[in-house]
């Protein structure tokens, strides 16, 4: 445990030094690819899961690149209890919290990809459909799909391209806390 904490501290110090002064990923024209720097210095055991989720989103979209530890547009935290959730401060910026207890019941990669989806502008859609990433916990613990549907991926691409307008874009770039529902599965009594 001590060595793990030491490594985390070293990683945090290194990252903090490298990212001073960085506030926005890439304020370039909407048509250019945007880099979203995510920070895993507080991600605990979920670092590799975060990297896998970033790759999934990079492959699913055409105009954004999630890059590890080049800045802090997106901070990823490991927490225990209270539920996984996402805090989007603006499109592509915010914080994701992954509950270690939920990650023992639900696929950690699906939780991670889902919560990052909120940062990328997607709302929840708890319709129980496992083919949707944003159905989250409603699809049950047996659903391990970590991939956005083509519609979900297209929506993110369009949001970052600036081709969505009006109320839809407005709701996607708002500062929102997504307190997610990944229902606990209770052990049967007796
Ligand atoms: Zn959600």
For each of the chain's 190 residues, which pLDDT tens digit applies? 445 544 444 444 444 444 444 444 544 444 568 999 999 999 999 999 999 999 999 999 999 999 999 999 999 999 999 999 999 999 999 999 999 999 999 999 999 999 999 999 999 999 999 999 999 999 999 999 999 999 999 999 999 988 766 666 667 677 788 888 787 776 666 5
Residue 180: per-residue pLDDT: 81
Residue 14: per-residue pLDDT: 43
How do strand 176-179 and strand 85-90 relate by DSSP bridges? antiparallel
Alpha helices in the chain (DSSP H): 2-19, 47-60, 108-119, 150-161, 166-173
In angstroms, what is the span from residue 103 Cα to ligand 1's centroid? 14
Residue 187: per-residue pLDDT: 63
Residue 73: per-residue pLDDT: 96
pTM for the model: 0.79
C-alpha distance from residue 63 to each of 33, 82, 135 (Å): 4, 34, 24
Instruction: Report, as residue numbers or ranges, the catalytic residues.
Output: 115
In angstroms, what is the span from residue 152 Cα to ligand 1's centroid? 13
In angstroms, what is the span from residue 27 Cα to ligand 1's centroid? 27
Look-up: residue for tokens 């539920």? Answer: 83
Residue 154: per-residue pLDDT: 95
CB 143 within 8 A of CB 110: yes
């Amino acid at each position: 445990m001590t060595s793990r904490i030491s490594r985390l501290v070293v990683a945090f110090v290194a990252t903090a030094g490298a990212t001073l002064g960085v506030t926005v990923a890439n304020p370039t024209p909407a048509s250019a690819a945007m880099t979203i720097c995510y920070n895993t210095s507080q991600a605990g055991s979920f670092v590799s899961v975060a990297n896998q989720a970033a790759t999934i989103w990079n492959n699913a979209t055409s105009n954004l690149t999630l890059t590890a530890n080049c800045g802090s547009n997106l901070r990823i935290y490991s927490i225990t209890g209270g539920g996984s959730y996402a805090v989007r401060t603006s499109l592509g910026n915010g914080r994701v919290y992954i509950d270690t207890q939920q990650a023992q019941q639900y696929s950690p990669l699906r939780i991670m990809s889902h919560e990052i989806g909120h940062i990328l502008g997607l709302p929840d859609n708890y319709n129980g459909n496992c083919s949707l990433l944003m159905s989250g916990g409603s699809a049950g613990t047996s659903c391990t799909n970590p991939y956005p549907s083509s519609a979900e991926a297209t929506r993110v691409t369009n949001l970052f391209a600036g081709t969505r307008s009006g109320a839809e874009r407005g709701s996607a770039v708002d500062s929102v806390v997504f307190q997610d529902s990944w229902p606990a599965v209770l052990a049967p009594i007796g």
